């Protein structure tokens, strides 16, 4: 009986969206503001030298490593800009980034206990204007996107290694400004 109840509980937990609720959306808004404050997003954002990418992130990419303080917690902030369309060149991206920016995908390391199992990363996918992108079901892409799922940020990034990052094996838990 207890086992049956346990299974039913699990089914309910899986049906409820694990991300994209009001709290996640509000948190994502704060993360975007922190990026604007650091000149990592918004009008006149700093540029680095774009490099070729692949699906799902885009044909030209930029990646920035920083840290930010949200609600009194300081954590690593990794920002990826995703440019397109296919065939876009470095010169086109640098010459008119706004015209080629498709999305901004972000990982912010939250406080211990947020989701220890997956390294406490908060995921968000923004459109160039800072609003959140949505999945096909209309759920905002913010929070533990793709956890326990076949697709989505975590479903893929969990294959990147212990730190959930593809570009580096660095321990981002140690990446603080102090």
Interface ranges with ligand HEC (CB under 6 A) = 53, 56-57, 61, 63, 78, 80, 105-107, 123-125, 141, 145, 152-153, 156-157, 160, 165-167
- Give least dist CB 15 to ligand HEC, A: 21
Neighbour-count burial of 10, counting CB atoms closer than 10 A to its CB (0-12 exposed, 13-18 middle, 19+ buried) = exposed
- Closest to ligand HEC by CB, 9 vs 56, is 56
**Residues 50, 55, 56, 58: is their CA dihedral positive or negative?**
positive
- Closest to ligand HEC by CB, 6 vs 132, is 132
- Asked if residue 169 lies in contact with residue 161, where contact means CB atoms within 8 angstroms, the answer is yes
- Closest to ligand HEC by CB, 130 vs 166, is 166
Q: How many CB atoms lie within 10 A of CB 156?
A: 13
- Give least dist CB 1 to ligand HEC, A: 39
Ramachandran region, residue 176 (left: φ > 0; alpha: ψ -120 to 50; beta: rest): beta
Q: Give every CB contact of residue 135 below 8 A, 6+ residues apart in sequence.
A: 20, 141, 145, 152
- Give least dist CB 6 to ligand HEC, A: 30
- Give least dist CB 140 to ligand HEC, A: 11
- Give least dist CB 65 to ligand HEC, A: 8
- Asked if residue 163 lies in contact with residue 169, where contact means CB atoms within 8 angstroms, the answer is yes
Helix (H) or strand (E) segment spanning residue 80? strand 73-83
- Closest to ligand HEC by CB, 100 vs 157, is 157
- Closest to ligand HEC by CB, 26 vs 151, is 151
């Amino acid at each position: 009986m207890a086992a049956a109840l346990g299974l039913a509980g699990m089914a309910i937990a899986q049906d409820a969206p694990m991300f994209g609720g009001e709290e996640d959306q509000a948190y994502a808004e704060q993360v975007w503001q922190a990026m604007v404050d650091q000149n990592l997003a918004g009008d006149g954002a700093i540029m680095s030298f774009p490099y070729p990418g692949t699906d799902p992130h885009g044909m030209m990419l930029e990646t920035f490593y920083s840290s930010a303080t949200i609600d009194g917690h300081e954590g690593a902030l990794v920002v990826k800009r995703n440019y397109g369309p296919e065939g876009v060149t470095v010169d086109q991206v640098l010459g008119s980034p706004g015209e080629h920016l498709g999305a901004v995908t972000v990982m912010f390391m939250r406080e211990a206990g947020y989701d220890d199992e997956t390294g406490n990363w908060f995921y968000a996918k923004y459109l160039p204007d800072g609003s959140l992108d949505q999945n096909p079901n209309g759920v905002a892409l913010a929070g533990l996107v793709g956890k326990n799922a076949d697709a989505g940020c975590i479903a893929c990034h969990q294959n990147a290694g212990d730190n959930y990052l593809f570009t580096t094996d660095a321990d981002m838990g140690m990446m603080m400004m102090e």
